[in-house]
């Protein structure tokens, strides 16, 4: 989430005419998809519905498509706020607005608008911003602004109409035979619906960076298979618990497709026995990428994702990135490569993974760590030593023993 405005509830209206509480979901890139637009809209609708279903136990609000936006039908203003907070975190959503659906009748719209404005107190200036998505309503948007604005102005003594940066904007939208009004919106996370951009395998440690990298790919619409290497049996399985918690946290953003876990400790021991100490970490990483690629090929994923950031640690110099990345034939996506650690931490805090990643755990990469790891590995030297190892045999065994965590059960409503 970027910024959130106030989430004050709208009032229980004194009017008895037919109105209902709604959340309007606005998207941007999804709307630019030309002939594929309907596919993207349906996917976004499905993703929001699924998330609402897991957060709202029973009585899940329904999600409908109306021209150019989605509509969440809710039973009260409180439910509107809850549903809006859920929808704002779903990739593809740019903004959510909490308001009312009404008949296209100014005698109903005006008092309802006044009621929404009352809930915005204190404020001093306001304006009405109308939109008519088709011409089935006889009054155009300029006239609507004047009519509704004038009506409100008469009933709001001490407030003034102001076009530039008013304290409150009453939005009025005429769409498909009904009208929507709202004053309150939240920023969404943007991006594209999860599942619209193909599949990737994200190498997910319990550290700070890789959950942010996976989140960035989710936000761009990828289906993300998480892959974690634990030091088990050479170290404890605490990192596995943390990665499960990270996966649970990512549910709010569309969630991982699945989470695979590899007990990597024995292979690290084998590497430590066969490779120069300074190159151990490079070899751990190469084997991780080779496993990720085998999983990707099996699952139809077309890229690998890491949380590497240039120069952040010894293993992330350009030389070492070259020496490890060369093992993969699929593209290796590194969405954090040019971010500073503080920027990554800020993002990890926003998406709620920082607190999980900050817990102490056994990181498999520190197993059998030499005092001076190589910071400028030579690709040729690495590849020559790599060929001496029974990699295919290891890969077959690792793939056979790979464990999968059932994710949707983690996403059960709390």
**Whole-angstrom Cα Rg for the chain:** 26
For residues 172 and 115, what is the distance between their CA atoms, to the nearest angstrom? 14
Q: How far is CA 270 from CA 374, 377, 379, in A?
A: 19, 20, 21
Segment 45-52 long-range contacts (CB within 8 Å, at least 24 positions apart):
45/70, 47/90, 47/91, 47/92, 47/193, 47/194, 47/195, 47/254, 48/72, 48/86, 48/87, 48/90, 48/93, 51/86, 51/87, 51/90, 51/251, 51/252, 51/254, 52/83, 52/86, 52/87
For residue 216, state whether it binds ligand ATP (rule: CB under 6 A): no
User: Nearest CA to 80 among 178, 165, 186?
Assistant: 186
Nearer to Mg ion, 86 or 206 (CB): 206
- Under DSSP, is residue 403 helix (H, G, I), strand (E, B) or coil? strand
Q: How far is the CB of 139 from ligand ATP (least distance, A)?
A: 56
Nearer to ligand ATP, 188 or 307 (CB): 307
Q: How far is the CB of 342 from ligand ATP (least distance, A)?
A: 13
How many chain residues interact with ligand ATP (CB under 6 A)?
19
For residue 205, state whether it binds ligand ATP (rule: CB under 6 A): yes
Q: Which stretch binds ligand ATP (CB under 6 A): 87-95, 142-150, 192-200, 306-314?
A: 306-314
Nearer to ligand ATP, 21 or 361 (CB): 361
For residue 324, state whether it binds ligand ATP (rule: CB under 6 A): no
Q: How far is the CB of 73 from Mg ion (least distance, A)?
A: 44
Binding residue for ligand ATP, selected from 13, 81, 208, 405, defined by CB under 6 A: 208
Nearer to ligand ATP, 111 or 373 (CB): 373
58 is written with which tokens?
């029973």
Q: How far is the CB of 330 from Mg ion (least distance, A)?
A: 21
For residue 337, state whether it binds ligand ATP (rule: CB under 6 A): no
Scanning residues 35 to 74, which ones bind ligand ATP (CB under 6 A)?
Answer: none
For residues 291 and 402, what is the distance between their CA atoms, to the nearest angstrom? 10
For residues 108 and 366, what is the distance between their CA atoms, to the nearest angstrom? 67
**SS3 annotation, 358-401:** CCCCCCHHHCCCCCCCCCCCCHHHHHHHHHCCCHHHHHHHHHHH
For residue 130, state whether it binds ligand ATP (rule: CB under 6 A): no
Q: Which stretch binds ligand ATP (CB under 6 A): 141-149, 248-256, 308-316, 389-397?
A: 308-316
Q: Which does 208 bind (CB under 5 to 8 A by kind): Mg ion, ligand ATP, none?
A: ligand ATP
Cα-Cα-Cα-Cα torsion 110, 182, 37, 332, nearest 10 degrees, comes to 170
Q: Which stretch binds ligand ATP (CB under 6 A): 38-46, 96-104, 111-119, 205-213?
A: 205-213
For residue 210, state whether it binds ligand ATP (rule: CB under 6 A): yes
Q: How far is the CB of 238 from ligand ATP (least distance, A)?
A: 12
For residues 242 and 356, what is the distance between their CA atoms, to the nearest angstrom? 6
Nearer to ligand ATP, 119 or 363 (CB): 363
**Is the distance from CB of 106 to CB of 148 less than 8 angstroms?**
yes
For residue 320, state whether it binds ligand ATP (rule: CB under 6 A): no
Q: How far is the CB of 207 from ligand ATP (least distance, A)?
A: 2
Q: Which residues bind ligand ATP (CB under 6 A)?
A: 203-205, 207-210, 228-229, 288, 306-308, 312-313, 315-316, 364-365
């Amino acid at each position: 989430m970027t910024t959130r405005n106030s989430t004050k509830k709208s009032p229980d209206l004194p009017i008895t005419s037919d109105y209902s509480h709604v959340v309007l979901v606005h998207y941007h890139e999804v709307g630019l998809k030309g002939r594929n637009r309907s596919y993207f809209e349906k996917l976004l609708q499905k993703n929001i519905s699924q998330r609402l279903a897991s957060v709202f136990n029973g009585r899940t609000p329904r999600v409908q498509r109306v021209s150019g936006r989605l509509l969440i039908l809710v039973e009260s203003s409180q439910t509107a706020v809850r549903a809006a907070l859920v929808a704002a975190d779903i990739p593809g959503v740019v903004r959510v607005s909490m308001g009312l659906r009404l008949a296209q009748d100014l005698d109903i719209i005006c008092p309802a608008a006044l009621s929404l404005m009352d809930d915005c107190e204190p404020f001093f200036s306001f304006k009405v911003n109308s939109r008519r998505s088709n011409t089935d309503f006889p009054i155009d948007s300029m006239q609507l602004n004047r009519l509704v604005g004038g009506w409100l102005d008469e009933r709001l003594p001490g407030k003034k109409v102001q076009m530039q940066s008013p304290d409150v904007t009453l939005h009025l939208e005429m769409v498909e035979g009904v009208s929507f009004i709202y004053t309150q919106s939240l920023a969404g996370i943007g991006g594209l619906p999860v599942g619209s951009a193909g599949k990737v395998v994200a190498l997910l440690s319990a550290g700070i960076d890789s959950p942010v990298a996976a989140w960035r790919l989710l936000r761009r619409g990828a289906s993300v298979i998480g892959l974690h290497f634990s030091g088990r049996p050479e170290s404890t399985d605490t990192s596995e618990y943390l990665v499960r918690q990270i996966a649970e946290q990512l549910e709010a953003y569309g969630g991982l497709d699945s989470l695979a876990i590899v007990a990597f400790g024995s292979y690290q021991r084998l590497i430590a026995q066969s490779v120069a100490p300074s190159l151990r970490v490079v070899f751990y990483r190469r084997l991780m990428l080779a496993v990720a690629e085998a999983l990707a090929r099996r699952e139809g994923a077309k890229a690998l994702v890491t949380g590497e950031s240039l120069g952040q640690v010894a293993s992330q110099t350009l030389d070492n990135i070259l020496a490890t990345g060369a093992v993969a034939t699929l593209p290796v996506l590194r969405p954090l490569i040019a971010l500073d650690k503080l920027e990554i931490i800020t993002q990890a805090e926003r998406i709620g993974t920082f607190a999980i990643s900050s817990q102490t755990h056994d990181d498999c990469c520190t197993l059998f760590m030499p005092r001076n790891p190589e910071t400028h590995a030579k690709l040729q030297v690495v590849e020559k030593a790599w060929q001496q190892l029974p990699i295919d045999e290891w890969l077959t065994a690792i793939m056979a023993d790979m464990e999968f965590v059932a994710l949707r059960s983690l996403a059960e409503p709390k």
